[in-house]
Structure 1
Amino acid sequence: MKPFLNETYESFRMAWEQIRSQRIRSFLTALGVIIGIVSITMMGTAISGIDKGFEKSLSMLGYDVVYIQKSSWTSMDDWWIYRNRPDLKTSYAETINGIVEGDGDSLIEIAVPQMSTFNASASYRDRSIEQVYAIGSTADYMRTASGDIEEGRFFMRHEELSATMVCVIGSEIAEGLFPGGGAVGKTIRLKNRNCRVIGVFRKQGKFLGLFSFDNQLLMPLDSFRRVFGSNRYVTMRIKLQEGAAIEEARDEIRGVMRRVRQLRPAEKDDFAINEQQAFKQQLDPIKNGIAVAGLFITGMSLFVGAIGIMNITFVSVKERTREIGLRKALGARRRTILMQFLIESVTICLLGGAVGLLTALGMTAAISAFLPEFPLPFSPALVVLSLGVSVLTGVISGFAPALSASRLDPADSLRYE
């Protein structure tokens, strides 16, 4: 065992000396590996970042909340059909709750109505916020929401029934209208109405990097109607029982909604049941596309890098033919010569892999600094994978030249000019 360790150590030492003496050539040789490792690392980081950001966004929708709406989130091919469907009514929530109340087998916990508009504006003194996502709902809204109240409270049942002009605002609105803090208790202006702020939501971030949940404003349903009118988009938020299976719940919700809509058996559904799984199905092709493109670029880079390393290793064998012959004449075994050139090839690839990892780490840090809403987790698994790919590339590209070096005849090698 000790002789083998000594041979390995000596091979690494000689490989390092050879790389140091040919710095430029070694760097150019490893360039393909560097590009390949940067590609595979950035690809893995991007996919992990998409998964992490997507899961964070889906948590905003709620894993156990289903949304009943006129149109589907995923398929807009039948836009004209969706447009001509009868509008949903906020009263459906009360009807649904009445149907499932007392049913111990129901997978529906509660239905909550929601009216909304994306074109609201809010102002306080000389400050204003445009494109506010205003929502009107009931006091049960928080049972279906993933956000928490950071300051103040949510509106209560008596405020809902009396259409009190109160609201809970997102952190983005609070920062825009009240940069010094203290939003709770202040009165803001919504269109031509005054509305008292009674709570502020904790910061949530953007949904899929596009829509900000921190730009929303919640108020009682009838208060919303007084400000924005009744002709607004209606959604039914259905909170499922704990542990309920989505597919089974969808079947129950579909049956209940057909009963509420009074549809005959032969009539098609005139509503859509939306939940987060629809977004997951859309994400998979994007991830697969990134993976295919990344693997192609990585494969091409590593292939070019491997050819370059193999070529340079063959050149190195030719340049050191007399040295190999002398070492064999002095008793060096074929295994020792093979190991020496193989380790030299692997060392070049490992150094290229390390440089590639450092480059990728710098790129992810720069991207995260400019785009903080897009997470780029640099996982230890990617480091291990990248170094493993580097070693494998070194073994594959260096084996043939190392084998040819180990088979050289000592007498012919010593006569080589």
Structure 2
Amino acid sequence: MLFWTIIKVSFKSLQANKLRTFLAMLGIIIGVGAVISMLALGAGAKNQVMERITAMGTNLLVVSPGGDRRGGVRAGSRESLTIKDAQEIRDTIDGIAAISPLVRGREQVTYFNENVNTTITGTASTYLEIRNFEMEKGRGFTVMEEDHTSRVAILGANTAELLFKNQNPLGERIRIKNINFKVIGVLKEKGDQGWFNPDEIVVVPYPVAMKQLFGQPHLDEIDIKANTDADLTQVEEDVTALLRKRHRIMEDAENDFHVRNQAEIIDMASTFTRTFTILLGGIAGISLVVGGIGIMNIMLVTVTERTREIGVRKAIGAKDRDILRQFLLEAILISAIGGILGIVFGFTVAYAIKQFTEYQTVIETFSIMLALTVSASVGIFFGFYPAFRAAKLDPIAALRYE
């Protein structure tokens, strides 16, 4: 039989029982749609994570007290970082654009009858630049205000909304631990980072935070922004060597601090999102296999019902390969059409997720090509056995079949 003749006959056979054909396609439609939407969800999650990491700052190093984690516990002292450490890093290490000591803690913040429990972040004037913050209104504090332990505060977007509603907070005074702070600025909204919400903070100069709010001589963190042309790994090594020397750590001893490189954070996030995407795709792929089994079952029923037809075709000269091609092509058509409809279904689900939830979805060309390839492969794999059985039917026995 000519190839186009086989296609025409296959289409007519599928149209002869539309409900059965649709039910055979349904598993593929759901499977392909699930693969498309799940991979889109995984790609969207990766983009969101990368956006959040970038929002934290670029060319970033974060030095925190305590050594590397062992068994979930960070080794070393939690009070190992000092202002002198930050000053020495600033004055000694090449390739640093900005540096900020940091202390933080949660406190109740009040404005008349309004109050909110939020994170108080004591930093240097360079902190906003390092962490890519932008001002919605007002200004940041100056080096002079920092040095003179001025009681000035910058509010995160959510904190300002909770305390002041629709009022202008600039120039107003808030109270933290019964100490008045003058509001000089409000930060632009950044969005929840997942592990930390930068919109729910109050930023104050670190000297006033250390002396008057928290009463601690040590730092909780040192944030470092490297120059754009600097080798971030080299800066990290220089900072590590300097702090080991300052803290008089023996050559074979563990650090009492930990330096996180933004590249490490990105690598960890990429590994996590890649695993997440593969897991989602694998779960969705199971439904494709189920759809393939559905095609095989229905094609086996079809072969049984069309036994006499197969016998007639063989009796008038059709070869085994012609019967094999026809039934295999029917299975491929079912899976291919189901794959195309599944892509439309997947697009719809991905769009709905993006519109009605807080999650991003990104449909990549790779996922579409993968879905089409897998759906066609499913048709070939699960359609071959029914087609082979049809091709091997004995024409005499087939003609006698009732």
What is the TM-score with the length of structure 1 in the denominator? Answer: 0.82
Q: For residue 54 of structure 1, what is the aligned residue in structure 2?
A: 49
Is the 2:233–2:261 contact (alpha carbons within 8 Å) kept by the matching residues of 1? no
Q: For residue 224 of structure 1, what is the aligned residue in structure 2?
A: 209
Is the 1:174–1:181 contact (alpha carbons within 8 Å) kept by the matching residues of 2? no
Is the 1:167–1:219 contact (alpha carbons within 8 Å) kept by the matching residues of 2? yes
Deviation at 1:394, TM superposition (A): 0.8
Deviation at 1:230, TM superposition (A): 3.2
CA distance in 1, matches of 2:292, 2:74: 56
Matched, 1:254 2:240: yes
Could you tell which deviates more after superposition, 146-155 or 356-365? 356-365
CA distance in 2, matches of 1:312, 1:35: 17
SS of 2:66's equivalent in the other structure is coil
- Which residue of 105, 121, 127 maps to 2:114? 127
Instruction: Name the CA shift for 1:339/1:175 in 2 (closer, same or farther; >3 Å).
Output: farther
CA distance in 2, matches of 1:379, 1:293: 17
Is the 1:90–1:234 contact (alpha carbons within 8 Å) kept by the matching residues of 2? no
CA distance in 1, matches of 2:114, 2:351: 35
Is the 1:67–1:273 contact (alpha carbons within 8 Å) kept by the matching residues of 2? yes
Matched, 1:95 2:88: yes
CA deviations on 1:196-226 (whole Å, 9 max, x unpaired) are 222222211122x232111122122233245
SS of 1:316's equivalent in the other structure is helix
Is the 1:26–1:348 contact (alpha carbons within 8 Å) kept by the matching residues of 2? yes
Matched, 1:163 2:149: yes
Is the 1:15–1:343 contact (alpha carbons within 8 Å) kept by the matching residues of 2? no
Matched, 1:65 2:60: yes
Structure 1: which 5+ residue stretches go unaligned?
101-105
Could you tell which deviates more after superposition, 8-17 or 60-69? 8-17
CA deviations on 1:165-191 (whole Å, 9 max, x unpaired) are 222211111222233253333332223
CA distance in 2, matches of 1:43, 1:152: 43
Instruction: Name the CA shift for 1:291/1:180 in 2 (closer, same or farther; >3 Å).
Output: closer
Instruction: Summarize the alignment of residues 16-415 of structure 1 with structure 2, pairs less than 5 Å apart.
Output: 16-20=14-18, 23=19, 25-71=20-66, 75=69, 77=71, 79=73, 81-82=75-76, 84=77, 86-100=79-93, 106-117=94-105, 119-130=106-117, 132-180=118-166, 182-207=168-193, 209-225=194-210, 227-231=212-216, 233-265=219-251, 267-280=253-266, 282-283=268-269, 286-287=272-273, 290=276, 293-294=279-280, 297-298=283-284, 300-327=286-313, 337-354=323-340, 356-357=342-343, 360-361=346-347, 363-365=349-351, 367-368=353-354, 371-372=357-358, 374-406=359-391, 413-415=398-400
Instruction: Name the CA shift for 1:121/1:364 in 2 (closer, same or farther; >3 Å).
Output: farther
SS of 1:128's equivalent in the other structure is strand
Deviation at 1:252, TM superposition (A): 0.9
What is the TM-score with the length of structure 2 in the denominator? Answer: 0.84
Deviation at 1:54, TM superposition (A): 1.6
Could you tell which deviates more after superposition, 377-386 or 403-412? 403-412
Percent of residue pairs identical? 28
Is the 1:96–1:260 contact (alpha carbons within 8 Å) kept by the matching residues of 2? no
CA distance in 2, matches of 1:196, 1:169: 10
Instruction: Name the CA shift for 1:331/1:210 in 2 (closer, same or farther; >3 Å).
Output: same
CA deviations on 1:273-322 (whole Å, 9 max, x unpaired) are 12334445654664565456546545544334323322321221221233
SS of 1:214's equivalent in the other structure is coil
